Amino acid sequence: MTPAIDLRSDTVTTPTPAMRRAMADAPVGDDVYGEDPTVRALEEEAAARFGRAAAVFTPSGIMATLVLMKTLTTPGQEVICEADAHVVAYEEGTVAQHAGVQFRTVPGDRGRLDAARVRAALRPAAFPYTRLGAISVEETTNRWGGTVHGLTTLRSLRALADECGVPLHGDGARLCNALVATGDDPVEVGRTFTAFSICLSKGLGAPVGSLAIGDEDVIAEARGWRRRLGGAMRQVGILAAAGRHALDHHVTRLAEDHAHAQLLAERIAAGAPGSVDPREVVTNIVYVDTGDRPAGEVVATLAAQGIAVGAMGPSLLRLVTHLDVDADDCERAARALVAAVTTPAR
């Protein structure tokens, strides 16, 4: 049964009536022949939004990252990323398995890499050391509560990548959240990456899809990898239409999700002091320390009240705000969570 208030992830949204209408009305064609006008429009608009030449629509964020890694790296190289990056924490070795590279993980500051930390981890660029193939950065950080690197840090990471002669890859599953939080210019941020992905089916509320974005030659090769990996699709304009609608109508509203996350954090911090620091909540993800109460117990208590949250550790919960939760839902969830965390175990 669908929970009444689902805060497990921003992937749980369902398409709005307006999005469904856009999908139903979309002109379509065979995208493997490059003949789906809605897919082409989505790819062109997404690339232009970030000041880049090209984009390719992929079925998932994992595939967007994989086709870029296949394009940007050579098997046997290593890719530096943050210790808790989604690519290492959640993707079951996809990139290692299919692109043949190893990840070298570097702990960041609440999930954020910076040039000094990456520089300290560099190996000599000489035999017999494993060669660096790319630096990968996640914006925003999933496992660190939606923290944001921002333009200045991304620029310094790109400068370091250039110095090393390697690409800067961006896992921008929630890049639009970062842009809304910082007010940074999407074109300036888009130019910091050699190539990057954005996801349409997280905070943006589309049912499917990501885009890999970059220069013409990189995206042409990524498109080839998408086909070889079985990710090329046919009359998929009905899905691209949802993505176009999301980019047109659901980006600026991410500020509401951020305000709702802040509301959750403030209410929970007030009722269960020490469980969360609202100052650390800058986008749409809230991590809550359940103290002595096992996270699994709190999840079950809330589930019985129709409220779904995720357990991320023995005493760690994750709550993510999105299109399908409002301020009242957050007030109710915060009250229930505070009661569950502060009620002594029987």
Ligand X SMILES: Cc1ncc(COP(=O)(O)O)c(C=O)c1O
Question: Rule CB under 6 A: is residue 61 a binding residue for ligand X?
Answer: yes
Of 146 and 167, which CB lies nearer to ligand X in the complex structure?
146
Least CB distance to ligand X at residue 162 (A)? 24
Could you say which of 157, 173, 180, 254 contacts ligand X (CB under 6 A)? 173
Question: Rule CB under 6 A: is residue 171 a binding residue for ligand X?
Answer: yes
Least CB distance to ligand X at residue 186 (A)? 18
Least CB distance to ligand X at residue 62 (A)? 4
Residues whose CB falls within 8 Å of the CB of residue 127, separated by 6 or more in sequence, listed in order: none
Least CB distance to ligand X at residue 124 (A)? 31
- φ/ψ (deg, to 5) at 282: -115, -15
> Angle at the Cα of 343 (from 342 to 346), degrees rounded to 5?
140
Choose the stretch contacting ligand X; rule: CB under 6 A; options: 29-37, 55-63, 145-153, 293-301. Answer: 55-63
Could you say which of 22, 62, 311, 333 contacts ligand X (CB under 6 A)? 62
Could you say which of 86, 104, 112, 158 contacts ligand X (CB under 6 A)? 86
Instruction: Identify residues 191-220 at the interface with ligand X (CB under 6 A).
Output: 199, 210
CA distances (Å), origin 276, targets 102, 108, 139, 266: 34, 20, 21, 8
Question: Rule CB under 6 A: is residue 235 a binding residue for ligand X?
Answer: no
**263 neighbors 330 (Cβ within 8 angstroms):** yes
Question: Rule CB under 6 A: is residue 142 a binding residue for ligand X?
Answer: yes
Question: Rule CB under 6 A: is residue 60 a binding residue for ligand X?
Answer: yes
**219 neighbors 195 (Cβ within 8 angstroms):** yes
Within 13 A of 296's CA, how many CA atoms are on the CB side? 2
Choose the stretch contacting ligand X; rule: CB under 6 A; options: 28-36, 58-66, 127-135, 303-311. Answer: 58-66
106 beta partners: 82
Least CB distance to ligand X at residue 201 (A)? 6
Question: Rule CB under 6 A: is residue 66 a binding residue for ligand X?
Answer: no
Least CB distance to ligand X at residue 306 (A)? 23
Binding mask 261-280 for ligand X (x = CB under 6 A): --------------------
135 beta partners: 80, 168
Alpha helices in the chain, H assignment, sequence order: 17-25, 37-49, 61-72, 86-89, 94-99, 115-121, 150-164, 175-182, 186-192, 216-228, 237-249, 254-271, 295-303, 327-342
Residues whose CB falls within 8 Å of the CB of residue 79, separated by 6 or more in sequence, listed in order: 69, 73, 95, 101, 102, 103, 104, 132, 133, 134, 135, 136, 169
Question: Rule CB under 6 A: is residue 231 a binding residue for ligand X?
Answer: no
> Please, what is the angle between helix 295-303 and helix 327-342, to 10°?
130
Nearest residue (beta carbon) to ligand X: 61
Residues that bind ligand X (CB under 6 A): 60-62, 86, 138, 142, 171, 173, 199, 210
